[in-house]
Amino acid sequence: MCAAARRFGSAIGSTRALTTTTTRQLHHARRLLCALQDHIRDTLLATRRKRSASSFTKIAAVTAADTIYEIDRISEAAILAWFDAHWPRAWPVELVMEGLEDSEAGTFPRGTPVAKTLFKCILDPIDGTRGLMYDKRSAWILAALAPQRGPKNHLGDLVVAAMTELPTSKQWRADQLSGVRGEGRVLAEAINVLDGSRQRFAARPSRARDFQHGFASLARFFPEGKALTAQIEEALWQGLYGHNANRSPLIFDDQYIASGGQIYELLVGHDRMLGDLRPLVFAKLGLRTALACHPYDLCTAFLLAEAGGVVEAPDGKPLRAPLDTTSSVAWMGYANPHLARAVRPVLKRLIAKFL
């Protein structure tokens, strides 16, 4: 029995934590997260059909974690209503999401003290807001569940995760991936948003043993820190392959402004390496900015490891960021262990040199 089942069984006080009962409960939790995300997706798509796209781009608020656009607000009421109606009362849960900080408004059943909850659900209703609100590229709904450990909870505690695509207006297909930590597999479905039909597909990271003629990059979405990040990335490729003067490009770059979207690109074999050093770069430059990856952006990252990839801190250690809405997280993701082993020593030297 996987460690996730033992932790889940312990949280619910089960004396049968190592039985198939707990495995069924884990997958029930996984299906609940998928159903929640189906509801959020359908709510957003229905709203988009009724409203002008320009209304989504209005700034609704600026928080300690991020800028909140009007499109972000649409899903909040739907999420709270769904938890009221569908979350099992026997599994009291704390919801960690922007807008619910420092409040017990996000516990279900409503009014449950956080100390009395069994689980913590961390949720990003729209990861990739900027691309979706201009109808450029899909965003993602991200959610994961951990046994409640209060402020001690970190990314390594998450045992169930699901991620669902929010498609652009011209797409008929939206993918959904989910899984349980320790099972060594990811369940992936392609959903036809026109008729609701679903079809399984295989999520397989690339098995390439080098980066040549493949997609790989470091996040440099915004002007802040872009020059230093690009300098580090250029030095990384030179360290791995030497100078590339007068030759066709060996490495392709794709800046997907969504951490969940980046994990997806690795999961399905599109990209071979993606990483985000922004917290380290910002610290080096003395920049005070919230434009960084947060724990809710990476709550589904362990699915990459379940599919055979690698996700870790830039120094090669496990990700252990707290399950909150404000901590900045630096991370690296690789399609397979061979690529991770190739990059780690070079990246370690570059971090020591530049950061």
* Residue 312 structure tokens: 């870790």
- 210 phi-psi bin (left φ>0, alpha ψ -120 to 50, beta other): beta
> What is the reported pLDDT for 67?
61
Q: Are 266 and 309 in contact (CB under 8 A)?
A: yes
User: How would you write 257-284 as a 3-class SS string?
Assistant: CCHHHHHHHHHCCCEEEEEECHHHHHHH
pLDDT in tens, 235-249: 999 999 987 655 666
Lowest mean per-residue pLDDT among 4-18, 44-58, 273-287: 4-18
Indicate the Cα dihedral angle 49, 51, 53, 56, nearest 10°: -120
Backbone angles phi, psi at 90, to 5 degrees: -75, -10
* Residue 221 structure tokens: 């979405």
> Confidence band (pLDDT; 50, 70, 90) for 50?
confident
pLDDT in tens, 84-139: 999 999 999 999 998 776 556 689 999 999 999 999 999 999 999 889 888 999 99
Distance between CA atoms of 232 and 349, rounded to whole angstroms?
A: 10
Q: Which residue matches tokens 């690698």? A: 310
For the domain made up of 214-354, give the CATH fold.
Answer: D-Maltodextrin-Binding Protein; domain 2 (3.40.190)
Q: Which residue matches tokens 């397979």? A: 336
Q: Residue 228: pLDDT above 80?
A: yes
> What is the reported pLDDT for 63?
59
> Confidence band (pLDDT; 50, 70, 90) for 250?
confident
> What is the reported pLDDT for 33?
98
Is-same-fold flag (3-200; 214-354)?
Answer: no
Q: Residue 154: pLDDT above 90?
A: yes
> What is the reported pLDDT for 18?
40
Q: Residue 64: pLDDT above 60?
A: no
CATH of 3-200, one of 1.20.120.530, 2.30.130.10, 3.40.50.720, 3.30.540.10: 3.30.540.10
> Confidence band (pLDDT; 50, 70, 90) for 267?
very high
* Residue 327 structure tokens: 């901590």
pLDDT in tens, 270-327: 999 999 999 999 999 999 876 899 999 999 999 999 999 999 999 999 999 999 999 9
Geometric angle at alpha carbon 79, from 74 and 85, rounded to 5°: 135
Distance between CA atoms of 86 and 172, rounded to whole angstroms?
A: 27
> Which residues have C-beta within 8 Å of that of residue 352, sequence separation ≥ 6?
none
Average pLDDT over residues 45-57: 71
> What is the reported pLDDT for 236?
96
Which residue from 225, 319, 300, 288 is spatially nearest to 259, judged by alpha carbons? Answer: 300
> What is the reported pLDDT for 6?
74
Q: For all residues of the chain together, what is the average pLDDT?
A: 90
> What is the reported pLDDT for 297?
97
Indicate the Cα dihedral angle 76, 79, 84, 86, nearest 10°: 170
Backbone angles phi, psi at 45, to 5 degrees: -65, -40
Distance between CA atoms of 248 and 103, rounded to whole angstroms?
A: 54
Q: Are 229 and 255 in contact (CB under 8 A)?
A: no
> Which residues have C-beta within 8 Å of that of residue 81, sequence separation ≥ 6?
none
pLDDT in tens, 317-353: 999 999 999 999 999 999 999 999 999 999 999 999 9
> What is the reported pLDDT for 5?
66
What is the residue extent of each domain of the chain? 3-200, 214-354
Q: Residue 341 to residues 1, 235, 240: CA-CA distances in angstroms?
A: 29, 17, 12
Distance between CA atoms of 151 and 170, rounded to whole angstroms?
A: 42
Q: Are 274 and 339 in contact (CB under 8 A)?
A: no
Average pLDDT over residues 215-229: 95
Going by the DSSP 8-state scheme, the letter that residue 192 receives in this structure is: E
Q: What does pTM read for this prediction? A: 0.92
> What is the reported pLDDT for 16?
43
- Percentage of the chain lying above the pLDDT 90 cut: 76
> What is the reported pLDDT for 15?
39
